[in-house]
Amino acid sequence: MKRILITGANGQIGSELRETLAAQYGSDQVISIDLNKPAGYDAKKLGVLESVDVTDRQAIEKIIDQYQVGTVFHLVGILSGKGELNPDLAWNVNVSSLKYVLDFAKEKSLRVFWPSSIAVFGPTSPKEQTPQITTLEPTSIYGVTKVAGELLCNYYFNKYRVDVRSLRFPGLISYKTPPGGGTTDYAVEIFYEALKRQAYTSFLKRDTVLPMMYMPDAIRAILELMASPSDDLTIRTSYNLTAISFSVAELATEIQKHIPAFQLSTDPDHRQKIADSWPRSIDDSIARRDWGWRHAFDLSAMTREMLKNLQAQ
């Protein structure tokens, strides 16, 4: 069997996907790349981890050839909040590296998974039940890179038959690895602070509603999409995908059911403008129709699990 390569493997999605894939296929089948190796990294359990900069085309090719890679989960990315602070970095990491991977996929017949985001939508897209096919005029550089990436994926599929598959993720909530630099990160930070200080100051306003998903649903979505017969897939840009939509205040109220003393305050920063440009809810009926997508975690189940798991940590 050809091996699996995960880029951005130490990130929020990568670290959990790596664990799942290593358990499923064996750690010798999974190769991870990221900038650094975390202290105490368990290669026996999780597979080889190489330090590689994804903007280095030659270095990526070397890894693909050396380890006889057949599938790439190209997860590396600069998220929305951080992207606004360094648009050039966002473009190089999010778009240039994807183009390298798609070129290698074309030459070496690789399968590719690449995460897109609700950030492809902008102020001119419908805010509620945002459809799969609609205006894509994002105002963040992150959103611009995700639209460019989706169009590249679609182009490589149509022109070269590269089997590249993608999901437009909402905000992802997880307890194993914190996210870094996103607009939806408040929905993770709030849990850490609720347990530590019974208080949290959100960088988004109380009434800001965004689409969200608990990480186990996201990992399952990736695996189900990648396991689907190619002919069933009608979308080769990126599938709309969602689970739950809630406001900052609604999440705080849910946390208060477990921690009654919890207090929410707000101090909006530059990420408020990004959040205001994104949808409040998503229509993912095409993913549900094409490959049977169903989310498992609603707001109360996700909150209960987050608090239980973080407490245990």
- Which residues are tagged catalytic? 142
Candidate residues 183, 202, 277, 281; the one interacting with ligand AKB per rule CB under 6 A: 183
Q: How far does Cα 100 stand from its chain's mean position?
A: 20
What is the amino acid identity at position 261? Answer: A
Q: How far lies 262's CA from each of 162, 188, 214, 221, in Å? A: 49, 15, 21, 32
Nearer to ligand AKB, 102 or 118 (CB): 118
Does 94 help bind ligand AKB (rule: CB under 6 A)?
Answer: no
Q: Please state whether 206 falls in left (phi above 0), alpha (psi between -120 and 50) or beta.
A: alpha
Of 49 and 119, CB closest to ligand AKB: 119
Find the part of the chain contacting ligand AKB (CB under 6 A) among 52-60, 165-173, 228-236, 299-307.
Answer: 165-173
Token pair 């002919």 is found at 231
Q: What is the token pair recorded at 44?
A: 């026996």
Asked if 279 interacts with ligand AKB (CB under 6 A), we say: no
Nearest Cα to Cα of residue 87 among 148, 6, 163, 174 = 148
CA 30 to CA 5: how far, in whole Å?
Answer: 6
Using CB under 6 A as the binding rule, whether residue 143 contacts ligand AKB is answered as: no
Q: Is residue 119 involved in binding ligand AKB (CB under 6 A)?
A: yes
Query: Closer to ligand AKB at the Cβ: 47 or 279?
Result: 279
Q: Which of residues 45-84 bind ligand AKB (CB under 6 A)?
A: 79-80
- The interface region with ligand AKB, picked from 84-92, 152-160, 166-174, 292-300 by CB under 6 A, is 166-174
Among 13, 21, 93, 118, binds ligand AKB (CB under 6 A): 118
Residue at token pair 């005029």: 137
Q: What is the DSSP letter of 270?
A: T
Q: Give how many residues touch ligand AKB by CB under 6 A.
A: 12
239 binds ligand AKB (CB under 6 A): no
Contact (Cβ atoms closer than 8 angstroms) between residue 311 and residue 258: no
Q: Residue numbers of the site for ligand AKB (CB under 6 A)?
A: 79-80, 117-119, 142, 169, 171-172, 182-184
